[in-house]
């Protein structure tokens, strides 16, 4: 049952059956209370019920530790005390059942604890017989910008920050984007409509508004073929994926270079080329090298590399590399069987092969680069939306109707120059164009 996902409270509904159930839960909870304030619970109850119903599976995980539900610091933006109170009461009155008890870390085979698995009850399902997906909306109060601390707890954003131009522009850009996507008749590979929740993007920052800030939605978790399998008003999807974006930004911003120069220029200018470890696929090198950029110290880089495992992903038809941060069971082959000694050799080899990138290893620059690529993708969205072109970003990739490829290529170029100023105004950038069932095609976009 390790694949059972967590319940997210991000939907809302005014459907009569949802309203009725919400009122039943609230009235039952307040029945023996001296102080009664049903309005405090009405909106959270409808969100909780709508989110429970919208799930594709009856079973789900949900953490009920009270520390997750603080006022100004909580595990998720929607983890409020009224939500916890209502959730616990729905268990009491039979709308939610406990399916599998929690497993503490000391009792788990892999040393990783598991939260309780719950399930929607038959009573819950029978009370919502006429409810349909079209009756469920994204939570209209869901913040489009999130900030979390180092322990992944959500932090309340000060009101003065919310008045800053960048914040207001980001919110408006993402709202305009959602409005356009809602009109674009996007359908999944099985021809079912894509629910608005799936493409509601949130910009997520960690520790600081100067770092990270990437855009996330349900769509960003889709496998490659599922992303390319969608349609826009019956038009097949295409994607453009920027190649080597983070190393490219280092070279352009720090050195004013389009590509690497030095000892190996003319032999191979791929920043993810590592001939000293030729048995590892390029996709694996990409994950390992970016982990070295993300690491803030040499020691943290070693720890990441010695916990890296690679394997063939038949679903995505490519190699996959996972860096484990817990005692979770490892899958695949260990990238560095020699552990720290071999990891040290890898980092030294990378610095030797790529001198223009060497000084940025183990500096934590990867978090800043994520901020840069998220600024870039926000500008891509802004331009595309103004032109009426629906685009679905997945970090440094965009998915869009295939008949708009020429327009999106121009958008990527203009947004690159707009975002990075002098560093984005020379040479070219390479993108990979992909369509379902076809081999990717490399395309160079001239920035001059």
Structural domain harbouring 376: 145-244+367-446
Residue 104 scores a pLDDT above 70: no
- What total number of domains does the chain contain? 2
Buried b (16+ CB within 10 A) or exposed e, 203-215: bbbbeebebbbbb
Neighbours of 25 (CB within 10 A): 23
Out of 83, 117, 138, a domain closes at: 138
**Do both 213 and 187 map to the same domain?**
yes
Together in a domain, 75 and 133: yes
Percent of the chain with pLDDT over 70: 95
Residues 32 and 134 in one domain: yes
Question: Does 237 share its domain with 377?
Answer: yes
pLDDT at 2 over 60: no
Specify if 215 maps to a domain.
Answer: yes
**Least confidently predicted of 1-5, 98-102, 148-152:** 1-5
Contact predicate 369/293, CB 8 Å: yes
Q: Which of 138, 154, 172 is the last residue of a domain?
A: 138
Same domain flag for 173 and 131: no
Judgement on whether residues 177 and 233 belong to the same structural domain of the protein: yes
Lowest mean pLDDT among 68-82, 183-197, 356-370, 391-405: 68-82
Give me the pLDDT at residue 34, please: 81
Long-range contacts of range 414-423, CB-CB < 8 Å, 24 or more positions apart? 414/383, 415/376, 415/379, 415/380, 415/382, 415/383, 416/376, 416/447, 417/447, 418/379, 419/372, 419/375, 419/376, 419/379, 420/249, 420/252, 420/253, 420/372, 420/376, 422/256, 423/249, 423/252, 423/253, 423/256
| Same domain for 229 and 82 | no
Looking at per-residue confidence, does 81 or 56 come out higher? 81
What is the pTM for the complete model shown? 0.89
Classify 210 as helix, strand or coil: coil
Q: What is the pLDDT of residues 337-373, one digit of tens each?
A: 988 899 999 999 999 999 999 999 999 999 999 999 9
Q: Is residue 287 part of a domain?
A: no
């Amino acid at each position: 049952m390790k694949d059972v996902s967590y319940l997210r409270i991000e939907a809302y509904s005014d459907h009569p059956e949802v309203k009725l159930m919400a009122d039943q839960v609230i009235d039952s909870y307040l029945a023996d209370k001296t102080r009664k304030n049903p309005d405090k619970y009405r909106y959270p109850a409808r969100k909780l019920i709508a989110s429970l119903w919208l799930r594709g599976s009856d079973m789900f995980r949900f953490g009920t530790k009270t520390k997750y539900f603080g006022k100004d610091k909580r595990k998720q933006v929607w983890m409020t005390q009224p939500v916890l109170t209502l959730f616990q009461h729905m268990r009491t009155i039979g709308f939610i059942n406990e399916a599998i008890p929690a497993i503490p870390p000391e009792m788990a085979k892999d040393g990783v604890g598991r939260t309780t698995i719950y399930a929607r009850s038959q009573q819950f399902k029978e009370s919502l017989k006429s409810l349909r997906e079209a009756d469920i909306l994204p939570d209209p109060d869901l913040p489009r910008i999130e900030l979390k601390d180092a322990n992944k707890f959500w932090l309340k954003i000060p009101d003065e920050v919310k008045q800053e131009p960048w914040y207001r522009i980001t919110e408006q850009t993402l709202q305009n984007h959602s409005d356009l996507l809602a009109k674009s008749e996007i359908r999944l590979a099985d021809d079912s409509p894509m629910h608005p929740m799936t493409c509601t993007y949130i910009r997520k920052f960690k520790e600081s508004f100067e770092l990270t800030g990437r855009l996330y939605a349900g769509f960003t978790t889709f496998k490659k073929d599922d992303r390319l399998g969608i349609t826009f008003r019956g038009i097949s999807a295409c994607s453009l994926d920027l190649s080597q974006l983070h190393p490219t930004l280092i070279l352009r911003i720090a050195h004013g270079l389009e590509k690497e120069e030095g000892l190996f220029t003319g032999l191979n200018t791929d920043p993810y080329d590592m001939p000293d470890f030729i048995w590892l696929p390029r996709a694996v090198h990409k994950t390992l090298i970016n982990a070295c950029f993300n690491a803030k110290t040499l020691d943290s880089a070693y720890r990441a590399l010695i916990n890296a495992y690679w394997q063939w992903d038949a679903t995505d038809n490519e190699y996959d590399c996972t860096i484990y941060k817990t005692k979770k069971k490892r899958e695949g082959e260990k990238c560095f069987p020699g552990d720290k000694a071999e990891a040290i050799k890898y980092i030294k080899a990378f610095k030797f092969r790529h001198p223009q990138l060497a000084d940025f290893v183990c500096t934590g620059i990867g978090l800043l680069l994520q901020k840069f690529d998220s600024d870039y993708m926000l500008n891509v969205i802004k331009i595309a939306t103004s032109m009426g072109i629906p685009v679905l970003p997945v970090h440094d990739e965009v998915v869009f109707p295939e008949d708009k490829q020429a327009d999106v290529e121009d958008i990527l170029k203009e947004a690159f120059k707009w975002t990075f100023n002098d560093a984005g105004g020379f040479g070219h950038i390479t993108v990979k164009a992909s369509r379902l069932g076809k081999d990717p095609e490399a395309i160079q976009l001239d920035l001059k």
